Chain A
Amino acid sequence: MHEFFSILLSGDVPFVRYALIASLLSSFPLGMIGSFVVVKNMGSIAGAISHSVIGGIGLALYLQIVFKWRWVTPQIGALVFAVLSGLLLSWFLIKGKQRFDTVVNSIWVIGMSLGLIFLSLTPTYTDPMSYLFGNILLISQQDLILVGILSFVVVFVVIVFYPQLKAVSFDEEFSKIRGISVSLFSVVLLLLVSITVFLMLQVVGALMVIALLTLPPAIASMFHRRLSSIMITSTLITILFSFIGLMVSFLANLPTGPVTVLILGSAYLGVVLLKRIIPFSN
Chain B
Amino acid sequence: MKVIEVSNLTFGYEEEPVLMDVNFFIEEGEFVTIVGPNGGGKTTLIKLMCGLLTPWSGKISIYGKSPKENSHLIGYVPQQNLLDRRFPITVEEVVLLGRVKPFGWYTNRDRKIVREVLERVGLWDARKEQFSSLSGGQMQRVLIARALASEAPILFLDEPSANIDSENEKQLSAILSDLKKDHTIVVVTHDTGFVDMITDRVLCVHRTVSEHSFVDDGLSCNYGYPKHYAHVKHDTLIKR
Contact = CB atoms under 8 A, between A and B. Distances in A.
Interface in B178-237: none
A177 B98 CA distance: 10
Contact of B100 (A39, A163, A229): A163
Interface in A83-100: none
Contact of A178 (B86, B100, B104, B130): B100
A230 B105 contact: no
B101 A179 contact: yes
Interface stretch (B16-24, B31-39, B69-77, B165-173): B69-77
A176 B68 CA distance: 9
Interface string B100-134: 11111110000000000000000000000110000
B184 to A, nearest CB: 16
A174 B76 contact: yes
Nearest to B83: A171
Contacts of A166: 89, 93, 97
B160 interface: no
Contacts of A224: 88
19 contacts: A39-B84, A39-B87, A39-B88, A161-B103, A162-B105, A163-B105, A170-B97, A171-B78, A171-B97, A173-B52, A174-B76, A174-B146, A175-B100, A178-B71, A178-B72, A227-B87, A227-B88, A227-B89, A230-B88
Given A164-B100, A170-B94, 5 more contacts: A176-B52, A177-B71, A177-B74, A179-B101, A227-B87
A179 B71 contact: yes
A2 interface: no
A133 to B, nearest CB: 32
A187 to B, nearest CB: 15
Across chains A and B, which 9 residue pairs bring their CB atoms closest together, nearest first? Answer: A225-B130, A167-B100, A177-B71, A167-B97, A177-B76, A227-B88, A178-B100, A179-B102, A170-B87
B137 interface: no
Contacts of B100: 163-164, 167, 175, 178, 180
Nearest to A168: B100
A155 to B, nearest CB: 15
Contacts of A229: 88
Interface string A110-141: 00000000000000000000000000000000
Nearest to A220: B88
B50 interface: yes
A173 B44 CA distance: 13
A226 B88 contact: yes
Contacts of A169: 87
B88 A177 contact: no
Contact of A164 (B76, B102, B129): B102
A52 interface: no
Interface of B: 47, 50-52, 71-72, 74, 76, 78, 83-84, 86-90, 93-94, 96-98, 100-106, 129-130, 146, 150
A100 to B, nearest CB: 16
Nearest to B130: A225
A162 B90 CA distance: 15
Query: Max chain B CB contacts within 10 Å: which of A164, A166, A225, A229?
Result: A225
Nearest to B105: A163
Contacts of A164: 100, 102-103
Query: Max chain B CB contacts within 10 Å: which of A162, A175, A178?
Result: A178
A33 B2 CA distance: 46
B155 to A, nearest CB: 12
Contacts of A235: none
A188 to B, nearest CB: 12
A221 interface: yes
Query: Max chain B CB contacts within 10 Å: which of A161, A173, A224?
Result: A173
B97 A175 contact: yes
Contacts of B83: 170-171
Given A171-B97, A174-B146, A225 B88 contact: yes
A180 B150 CA distance: 13
Nearest to A162: B105
Nearest to B102: A179
A40 B70 CA distance: 29
A163 B100 CA distance: 7
Query: Max chain A CB contacts within 10 Å: which of B76, B87, B88, B100?
Result: B88
Contacts of A174: 76, 78, 97, 146
A226 B89 contact: yes
Interface in A173-232: 173-181, 221, 224-227, 229-230
Contacts of B72: 178-179
